[in-house]
Chain A
């Protein structure tokens, strides 16, 4: 018995040490470009991290098959953070210190991004976040960038449309994720500029099963429109419940609605929803002279034929992040972190899925308000509003 125990313990320690040396020393190919990615592939943010990870895999395969970047292969190390902050922090340190990656793509959620911001800044490693919150690039930190459109532009777009429709009193509901939090802050910040009065704001949890009670509360506040700012699947419950309650007010959604699955989930109730979004969802109906048309159609077709599922804007954010990086590496012909960082900061007119990126020292997002288009749902499909 005793001997067995000793052997077990000894074996465990030995395995750990072996693992330590193997993984510590292991494959150090000089010629590949290493990029890290921290994505919530499983866990609460899987509907974000899943498409993002798939997109990266697809791109890496494609790039390496067509000769790589200036003849060098690219390697993306995807770490699954499960949407939790401490994992993201640990992985960021791991990628920076051990893997010595050039840049990190992700995290998928705002909370994680904000928490690893200072780690990347101190580790002088480029972070191309795929999360929406404004706080990621405001205040600007020199190594931190993000590819999704700014929340504030989405809020402005919604308010502009409301002004046209003559709506002044609104109620907002947001999901209890970083995306919802960021959206609520921007809506509250810009509403006065557009003469819009937010009468009531409520938060619902991602695991909500029915939201009629919240909507009843909203309805009683005497509102002319509802804004639902959320990224979780529970957001499709809102349109259903509104129709079931007989609420006839128009429903505005955020760019987090950019996934056809959410329309399918809401069924008939999704008809007439208005929301700002990147052009990926309406790639097919864009005029052929639109600058983004080629990029969007290619990404959409590639993704949909490879994974047999609809492309969503979330995967597009990862696409933009990696493509920006590669574009810049090709331009500066170097993988020196400082040089690449500077080149991203000076990158102009880069056409991505999110819009046309024009970075500057004070704008690490690079997208203008025209990166959003107002969309609506008609016959179960996304359509341009105008």
Chain B
């Protein structure tokens, strides 16, 4: 296999991987403060994209503003979901919360179906059109992928800074480490959970907007994306945004290179088996800490 073909598979893997990565980041925020996996994360992604598409189609709202509005609205939805369904439950078990998020995911998907219909839609490309590509050493990649990678990188850095250096971020980490202790220190733990839903929803919506030109958007795409994102978040190691990005790119690359050897129809089999083997040897994910994975059980 010549180098440029190898590189092409590599770039294809990066393209798919960047999408998984940016979806997976959203899982970690809520996981960190509540210990639950929010199965409605995929719906945040789709809602964000659908809102942004609706705004751009009006014709007079420019793209960046449309994305901003979409992110804000989805953030509001995230907050509303937390306040209505999660906030007032006393001593919730993890499984109970997860089932609630599954319920929310189903309902928001069907609502989206009723509002936007079953047809496929997409955002315009941020730069260029559907035919343009960037050539790197004889292999090509869509410019949108660079946008996705760049924005994922920025999200990860901003999150790191936020959790390390701001008071709110530190408070959220404190809640993750020990909720009771955090409350004793005067941190409003419930507020932090609401905040984590808002941040997750915002990241999800942004992910939806930036990946929509590549993946296209349809009301029921959320669940498959969420499943891949979940897999990636776990294999990377829960609670760690950098790990999510690495996990996402890894899955993308495995899927892409496996096509060389096996039919495309079975690439999921190869990818999942490799990820499962990784998990068997590192039961708490590539970057996960053992204590952390043991802490949060059902």
Contacts and interface: CB of A to CB of B under 8 A. Distances in A.
A42 B110 contact: yes
A209 interface: yes
A244 B8 CA distance: 11
B218 A209 contact: no
A210 B12 contact: yes
Interface string B87-124: 00000000000000000000000100100011111100
Given A236-B120, A244-B140, A244-B142, A209 B215 contact: yes
Given A213-B256, A214-B264, A246-B140, A220 B5 contact: yes
Given A204-B264, A216-B9, A244-B141, A209 B131 contact: no
B11 interface: yes
A213 B131 contact: no
B119 A210 contact: no
A50 B130 contact: no
B1 to A, nearest CB: 8
Interface string A147-177: 0000000000000000000000000000010
B129 interface: yes
A32 interface: no
A267 interface: yes
Contacts, number: 118
B293 interface: no
Interface stretch (A109-117, A127-135, A258-266, A285-293): A258-266
A239 B122 CA distance: 15
Interface string A235-248: 01101100111100
B113 A214 contact: no
B215 A210 contact: yes
Contacts of A203: 263-265
* Interface size bracket, A side: 35 or more
B131 A216 contact: no
B214 A209 contact: yes
B3 to A, nearest CB: 13
B118 A245 contact: no
User: Which of A42, A44, A220, A233 has the most B CB atoms < 10 Å from its CB?
Assistant: A233
A202 B263 contact: yes
A234 interface: yes
B211 A243 contact: no
Contacts of B268: 205
A76 B240 CA distance: 53
B117 A309 contact: yes
Nearest to A49: B118
Contacts of B224: 207
Contacts of B129: 267-269
Given A42-B110, A268-B129, A217 B264 contact: yes
A43 interface: yes
B54 interface: no
Contacts of A335: none
A261 B214 contact: no
Given A202-B264, A213-B256, A245 B8 contact: yes
Interface string B223-234: 011000000000
Contacts of B125: 267
Given A216-B5, A268-B129, A262 B117 contact: no
B265 A44 contact: no
Contacts of B142: 240, 244
Interface string B1-34: 0000100110111011001000000000000000
A165 B216 CA distance: 32
Interface string B203-222: 00000000100111011110
Contacts of A385: none
A267 B130 contact: yes
B133 interface: yes
A354 B225 CA distance: 36
22 contacts: A42-B110, A47-B120, A203-B265, A204-B264, A207-B224, A209-B211, A210-B16, A210-B19, A212-B11, A212-B15, A213-B13, A213-B255, A216-B9, A233-B120, A236-B120, A243-B131, A259-B119, A262-B120, A267-B129, A267-B131, A269-B130, A309-B117
Interface of A: 42-44, 46-47, 50, 176, 202-205, 207, 209-210, 212-214, 216-217, 220, 233-234, 236-237, 239-240, 243-246, 259, 261-262, 264-269, 309
Given A207-B224, A239-B130, A246-B133, 9 more contacts: A43-B220, A47-B120, A210-B15, A210-B16, A237-B215, A240-B131, A243-B133, A245-B133, A246-B140
